[in-house]
Amino acid sequence: MTRKIKLSHCRRRVLLALLLALAAPAGVLAMEVKVFAIGDFVPSGSGGCGGGDRSHWPTMVDKWYDKMGSKGHTKDGQYTNGNMTIRRFCDPDWNSGCRDYNYIDEADAAMIATHGSDSGDHWQGTMRFRWSGHCALDAGGSADDMWVGDWDLEFIHVSSCYSADDDNLPGIREAMYDPYDSPPTGRRAHQWDGFHGIMWIGSSFDSDYREFANDAHSVAMARSWVSNMYDGTVDCAWYDPWNVFGTCQEQCPVAYTIGTTASDALTRLYYERYNNVYSDPTDRDWYAYRYIVNCDSVGETAFNP
């Protein structure tokens, strides 16, 4: 005699959800993406943090944001100018007033665009207004403002000068975890993409940001960042537009991952994509990076870690 098993409506829904979750390929969930861009800096005389305007910057990075939306991700926040302070990026374990968990660390993938500098062993980004005495967002190295990845963030792209300088590589990983929250939760960021030396703003770079987002679904994010963001023909002599006489400088992208072993960091660098997301690294003992050999940008010497 056959027994018919009848499931309640509630149990059927639970079973269906479970089956769907198991059936979904790993790492293909839509990401929540955010972009934070400053193009209109506020003079210190007007109560701001200074910096020369770069009006096209937000438009340029919005190409990434819009493409991510068209690839099926959730456009979760587009912050342009406004009240951009470090409060959106700093961790409450550093200062209890910080709110990174409502802003940058609430995203799965985020891009920051602002003037940056090399503050010794780490990158320093300029905000629009001072908060808690700080105009500069310090990240990595000996800095302790910015600890991301302990809430939600996996991928951080920094459209900013000096955001991945060769001498600061050992310290970038310090911004990719929270020394207080990451050990018990296991949550850490996966990849940091930035530039060695200065980077450039202009409408001719718009398609690079769009295609970075596009290609990072088909090939590794690190590959896509370096291929799309590299430019070998900036600041050239007028008779040498293609740098065959070596007069140009370069825009030098660097993609950076962390892991428990060299193999772990390299594997992430080699394969992780927006639609192939690995689990959070369980430690940051090792770091790996993809770069252009001897890349020589304005404001720096040739890349040589």
Partner 1 sequence: MLNHYFKPWIAALAALLLAISFGSQASDRPTEDPSPSADDLRKLVEAALPQELITEDNTKLVAQLLNPKLGIPLSRSFNPYRAIRTLFGRGGASLSPECRKLTTPTGDMATDECIASKGLESGKGAYKVLRYSKHLALGNVAFLNREADRVIDPAALPPVKMTDREAYEKAVDFLKGTFRVPGEEIFPIPAEAKMLPVRTIALGWASAGGPLKAAAPSSVPVEKMVLIPRGLFVQAHERLQWVPGPGKAMVVMDDRGVKEAIVQGWQEVRPHPKAHAENAKTRSELVSEIAEDIASDLQGPVQAMNMRLMLTVVASENGVGLLLPAVQMAVLPVPRDLTEDEQVELSQMQTTTAGMVREYPLVRMFEEFDQNDDEPLK
- Subset of residues 227 to 256 that bind partner 1, contact rule: CB under 8 A: 227, 230, 232-239, 241-246, 249
Q: Beta-carbon neighbour count of residue 82 at 10 Å?
A: 12
- Single out the residue of 169, 175, 189, 221 in contact with partner 1 (rule: CB under 8 A): 169
- In the bound state with partner 1, the residue whose beta carbon lies nearer, of 90 and 292, is 292
**Is residue 91 a contact residue for partner 1 (CB under 8 A)?**
no
Q: CB of residue 53 vs partner 1: minimum separation in angstroms?
A: 6
- Single out the residue of 33, 49, 104, 112 in contact with partner 1 (rule: CB under 8 A): 49
**Is residue 266 a contact residue for partner 1 (CB under 8 A)?**
yes
Strands ordered across the beta sheet of 155-159: 74-80, 32-37, 109-113, 155-159, 191-196, 249-259, 231-234
Angle at which helices 57-70 and 206-215 pack, to 10 degrees?
Answer: 30
**Is residue 87 a contact residue for partner 1 (CB under 8 A)?**
no
Using CB atoms within 10 Å of the CB of residue 121, give its burial: 0 to 12 exposed, 13 to 18 middle, 19+ buried: middle
Q: CB of residue 92 vs partner 1: minimum separation in angstroms?
A: 20
Q: CB of residue 87 vs partner 1: minimum separation in angstroms?
A: 15
The stretch near partner 1 (CB under 8 A) out of 2-10, 75-83, 90-98, 161-169 is: 161-169
Cβ atoms 217, 228 nearer than 8 A: no
Number of residues that bind partner 1 (CB under 8 A): 104
Segment 27-46, which members bind partner 1 (CB under 8 A)?
27-28, 41, 43-45
**Is residue 279 a contact residue for partner 1 (CB under 8 A)?**
no
- Single out the residue of 31, 32, 36, 54 in contact with partner 1 (rule: CB under 8 A): 54
In sequence order, which residues have a C-beta less than 8 Å from that of residue 175 and are 6 or more positions away?
A: 122, 139, 140, 143, 146, 147, 148, 189, 192
The stretch near partner 1 (CB under 8 A) out of 1-9, 87-95, 102-110, 225-233 is: 225-233
- Single out the residue of 79, 155, 205, 225 in contact with partner 1 (rule: CB under 8 A): 205
Q: CB of residue 19 vs partner 1: minimum separation in angstroms?
A: 18
Kindly state the helix (H) or strand (E) to which residue 169 belongs, with its residue range. helix 169-172
Segment 6-25, which members bind partner 1 (CB under 8 A)?
25
Beta bridge partners of 180: none
CA 76 to chain centre: 15
Segment 122-151, which members bind partner 1 (CB under 8 A)?
124, 126, 130, 133-136, 141-142
**Is residue 269 a contact residue for partner 1 (CB under 8 A)?**
yes
Collapse the DSSP code of 196 into the 3-class scheme (helix H, G, I; strand E, B; otherwise coil) and give the result.
Answer: strand
**Is residue 191 a contact residue for partner 1 (CB under 8 A)?**
no
**Is residue 67 a contact residue for partner 1 (CB under 8 A)?**
no
Cβ atoms 269, 222 nearer than 8 A: yes
* Rounded Cα gap, residues 183 and 8, in angstroms: 41
**Is residue 284 a contact residue for partner 1 (CB under 8 A)?**
yes
Cβ atoms 62, 34 nearer than 8 A: no
- Single out the residue of 118, 139, 158, 229 in contact with partner 1 (rule: CB under 8 A): 118
The closest of 208, 200, 175, 54 to 104, measured between CA atoms, is: 175
- In the bound state with partner 1, the residue whose beta carbon lies nearer, of 1 and 22, is 22
* Rounded Cα gap, residues 158 and 194, in angstroms: 5
* Rounded Cα gap, residues 267 and 278, in angstroms: 10
Q: What is the DSSP letter of 281?
A: P
- In the bound state with partner 1, the residue whose beta carbon lies nearer, of 106 and 288, is 288
